[in-house]
Amino acid sequence: MTQPQTIIDKLWSAHEILRREDGESLLWVDRHYVHEGSFHAFGKLAERGARVAEPALTFGVADHYVPTRGSRRSIANPEIARMVRQLEENCAKHGFKLFDLDDPGQGIVHVVGPEQGLTLPGLLIVCGDSHTSTHGALGAYAFGIGASEVAHVLMTQTIWQKKPKRMRVRVDGVTAPGIAAKDIMLAIIARIGADGATGCAAEFTGSAIRGLSIEGRLTLCNMSIEAGARCGVVAPDALSFAYLRGRPYAPKGAEFEQAVDAWSRLTTDEGAPFDHEVEFDAANIAPIVTWGTSPQDALPIDASVPDPTRESDPERAQYVRDALDYMGLVPGKKLTDISIDRVFIGSCTNARIEDLRAAASVIAGRDSKVPGLVSPGSTLVKRQAEDEGLDRIFRDAGLEWGESGCSMCVGINGDLIAPGERCASTTNRNFRGRQGPGARTHLMSPAMVAAAAVTGHLADVRKLLGSRKP
């Protein structure tokens, strides 16, 4: 009798070519996404006189360093202009598709892949960026790789990996109004820690996960990396299939129906073993914000800044003390009393149309008390948002409406937070200097960022829902 398998086992075995005695396996790669930061890998190919092994399975996206404000045809920073030009040249030389700055499908790579139907259930996907885990939301096995691994994939369309342990994160129940996927994931990380899923591939399951939109699942899998996971995955279902139908690179007609039949079998078998399991009650999850310098430093918005003197572990107490010192916070202060200096809505975590709608629904008819930037996740998202009038809502509130790119998430191209300034942000990371030297970042959902914008401080979006100024 065949032993029950998790979806992680099924995806792994479908791509394993061979296994060495040391436990490393050679895996076939179905999709390889590269961006302008991948020039080192192409340099290695040039040194060897090598070609890209599978151009039809390789896709370039200009996203990491591209400007989101000012001219994109004449990039002011010469180094960044050179990187974008190198990507264009490498894509042309090796004959694979590039979503460049003039392409209507351009955007952040982890938005473009699903949006274009390049990301499909059952595929193994890699990219030289840790948040490649995002694509697992559609039932793909997706993970980030290093520069030398990018070169290896370019030349062989394979990669050596050690099989991770299997972890199941179950979230059951119904979330309260105002609770988003970002809140769910921050609640998970706050409980298990930034290293709680280290060495694991995590499957997210449960009724609350099934209740999320595809956009919400993408957010969830995107931030599985912040819990230390190698990748995150959600088994594909009818919602996944509906999302993919008609996408430019998705199968068409009878091929799509055949694909759905195969994709439907990508589920965890009853009784399949996991190495680790954690469970959450969705009803207990409140809007979450971070207070420190790691995504694990997260609390419900109605909580207060932690006090290091109440920590029994001296090492933990020092960690809290150092984090508060960097963040400029005092123990015991209510989170809702923390003033902010600016806001950022964007990144591969929360810059899809659903995210912009959520933020706009809070901001509409209100003024932002602080400056801020809204950077859509792709050119398609930007155009759709403008068709829906979302850009006018943000502009009328006093926020800047930018182009698509990684932007302020990584402090690129002048999209920076000034030293000592505090930003309410939809990004995925808040380590020291993430958004600029000395910048202080508070992570939260798009709706929560919008609530912070219109109040000037960290705020509970639930108290603003349905409320409008005269």
Give me the residue spans of the domains in the chain. 7-276, 287-465
Which tokens belong to 421?
A: 């300034």
Model confidence band, residue 469 (pLDDT cutoffs 50, 70, 90): very low
Judged by DSSP in three states, 256 sits in helix
Q: What span, in angstroms and rounded, lies between the C-alpha atoms of 344 and 60?
A: 26
Q: What span, in angstroms and rounded, lies between the C-alpha atoms of 39 and 407?
A: 19
| Pair 301, 269: CB distance under 8 Å | no
The pLDDT, as a whole number, for residue 414 is 74
Q: What span, in angstroms and rounded, lies between the C-alpha atoms of 439 and 326?
A: 9
Domain 287-465 in the same topology as domain 7-276: yes
**Once rounded to an integer, what is the mean pLDDT over residues 131-152?**
97
Closest among 307, 304, 369, 364 to 339, alpha carbons compared? 369
For the domain covering 7-276, report its CATH number. 3.30.499.10
Model confidence band, residue 70 (pLDDT cutoffs 50, 70, 90): confident
- Say whether pLDDT at 413 is over 80: no
Q: What span, in angstroms and rounded, lies between the C-alpha atoms of 58 and 98?
A: 9
Q: What span, in angstroms and rounded, lies between the C-alpha atoms of 377 and 351?
A: 4
- Say whether pLDDT at 1 is over 70: no
Judged by DSSP in three states, 419 sits in coil
Q: What span, in angstroms and rounded, lies between the C-alpha atoms of 240 and 263?
A: 10
Q: What span, in angstroms and rounded, lies between the C-alpha atoms of 358 and 455?
A: 16
Judged by DSSP in three states, 134 sits in helix
- Say whether pLDDT at 197 is over 80: yes
DSSP 17-40: EEE-TTSEEEEE-SEEEEEGGGHH
DSSP label at 274?
-
CA angle 176, 180, 184 (to 5 degrees): 90
pLDDT averaged over every residue in the chain? 95
**Once rounded to an integer, what is the mean pLDDT over residues 7-28?**
97
For domain 287-465, is the CATH number 1.20.120.1730? no
Model confidence band, residue 2 (pLDDT cutoffs 50, 70, 90): confident
Q: What span, in angstroms and rounded, lies between the C-alpha atoms of 379 and 402?
A: 10
pLDDT, one tens digit per residue, over 366-407 is 999 999 999 999 999 999 999 999 999 999 999 999 999 888
Percent of residues, the chain, with pLDDT higher than 90:
90
**Once rounded to an integer, what is the mean pLDDT over residues 200-206?**
98
**Once rounded to an integer, what is the mean pLDDT over residues 47-51?**
95
**Once rounded to an integer, what is the mean pLDDT over residues 346-350?**
95
The pLDDT, as a whole number, for residue 470 is 39
CA angle 440, 404, 246 (to 5 degrees): 130
**Once rounded to an integer, what is the mean pLDDT over residues 104-128?**
97
Q: What span, in angstroms and rounded, lies between the C-alpha atoms of 193 and 214?
A: 25
Q: What span, in angstroms and rounded, lies between the C-alpha atoms of 143 and 130?
A: 7
- Say whether pLDDT at 198 is over 90: yes
For 61, other C-beta atoms within 10 Å of its C-beta total 31
Q: What span, in angstroms and rounded, lies between the C-alpha atoms of 336 and 400?
A: 24
